[in-house]
Amino acid sequence: MGVQISGGYIGYRMRTHIVRAILALAALLPLHAVAAKIVGGPVVVHVGPKSATIVWVVEDFQVELGDAPDAVNQAVAPGLRSVRASFTGLKPGRRYYYKVPGYDGVGGSFRTAPVGDVDFQFVVFGDTRTRHKMHRDIVNAIVRDTKPDFVIHTGDLVSNGRESALWPRFFEIEAPLLREAAFFPVLGNHERNSPDFHDFFAIESPYYSFDWGRAHFIILNSDFGNAAATKEAKQRFWDDQLRWLERDLAEHQDAALRFVAMHHPPFTAVKRRQGGKKHVADMVPLFERYKVTAVYMGHDHNYQHHLVGGVHYIVTGGGGAPLYPVDAPLDGVTLKVESVEHYVRVAVKGGRAVSEAVALDGRVIDRVVFGSRDSTD
């Protein structure tokens, strides 16, 4: 077993330089050193059959901001950095336990990705950015009623990914779940393509894929608007991602199940959202051509299930943000809609999977069986 420990110093230094520049210009931001403490995680990412990375976020200082020299306590932002430990040489499908030293024994456990024809369970939910009590209720329901091997978050983890004070709250609410399961996040529009998102989850690319048992999973970045600074750069990013997506799908045609997760849905039953994000439609022909099993998305704060070209499109955006109405179901496409807080649990048995949308009271909103004969109960 190998191990490597590193810190998110690039992002940390960039933030420190920005703070120093503001101090020099305004002289209104007193910097207070605090005892370093964990304010995020630990969270286990990049989990494969033989490797995993454990990341935690540390607060080193706080900056106070005000609009007058004698009123600099109107807003406070923490100075955050990530620390990570990467392990190799692990065994597939085995549960490992860990502790982060020097922080009162903070720790948890995770299961490495199994290989072959094995059973497993994962959870999908998203849009946890506001209504923190509701977000907490969703997390508590997941922990109480399921034992997922991993979690896919469909984006909009926080309301503004570039506001550092919001991240400790997200991690605090998610802690009971993150300390039991691996975490695979999707970049949402409210993350604003923040360097913190990439740093805190050790993400080098906003689109990536992984295998779990006989299933293949693809995480995409549908946030075209924040992908780059210029229109030309955004289009280059989008073209590169589409090429990567087709190559990845072509290389994994032998997977028993192929799941995709992204933030923006190409189909929606929310009337005011219809006709938007047209670039996401570019992906639909690829999903159909390579027979993707299901696409899980967020962005619309409700539950939706559509079936187009043999592909199931499931919107699970009921993780805490204010609910949206489902006021315009699509004829011949929409199978189920409900404006309700919920999460989705998926149980996989070899080449068959059962996807259930579950409300806070345990009621199953929708049940879909994926496999050789897809069906909806």
287-313 confidence digits (pLDDT tens): 999 999 999 999 999 999 999 999 999
Average pLDDT over the chain reads 89
Query: Percent helix, strand, coil in the chain (nearest 5)?
Result: 25, 35, 40
- pLDDT for res 67: 84
Looking at residue 372, what is its pLDDT? 58
Instruction: Give the range among 64-78, 85-99, 184-198, 349-363 with minimum mean pLDDT.
Output: 64-78
- Among 182, 184, 193, smallest CA distance to 237 is for 193
pLDDT for res 36: 74
CB 193 within 8 A of CB 167: no
Please provide the CATH number assigned to the domain covering 114-376.
3.60.21.10
Residues 6+ apart with CB under 8 A from 59: 34, 36, 37, 39, 78, 79, 80, 168
Of residues 8 and 46, more confidence is placed in 46
Tell me which residue of 278, 191, 275, 183 sits closest to 227, measured CA to CA. Answer: 191
pLDDT reading at 330 higher than 60 = yes
Least confident window among 8-12, 204-208, 243-247, 318-322: 8-12
Q: Say if residue 71's pLDDT is above 50.
A: yes
The answer to whether 214 and 255 are in contact (CB under 8 A) is yes
Q: What is the per-residue pLDDT for 13?
A: 41
pLDDT of residue 122: 98
pLDDT of residue 375: 52
For residue 277, the model assigns a pLDDT of 65
Average pLDDT over residues 58-63: 86
pLDDT tier at 248, thresholds 50, 70, 90:
very high
Dist. CA 76–CA 133, nearest whole Å:
22
- The answer on pLDDT for 234 being more than 60 is yes
pLDDT at 78: 86
Q: What is the mean pLDDT of residues 55-78?
A: 84
Query: Residue 339: is its pLDDT beyond 50?
Result: yes
List, in sequence order, every residue forming a beta bridge with 315; answer none if it has no partner.
Answer: 297, 304
Query: What integer pLDDT is reported at residue 62 of this predicted model?
Result: 84
Confidence of residue 7 (pLDDT cuts 50, 70, 90): low
Q: How confident is the model at residue 60 (pLDDT cuts 50, 70, 90)?
A: confident
**CATH 3.60.21.10 location in the chain:** 114-376
Instruction: Please check the confidence at residue 267 and state whether its pLDDT lies above 80.
Output: yes
Percent of the chain topping pLDDT 90: 77
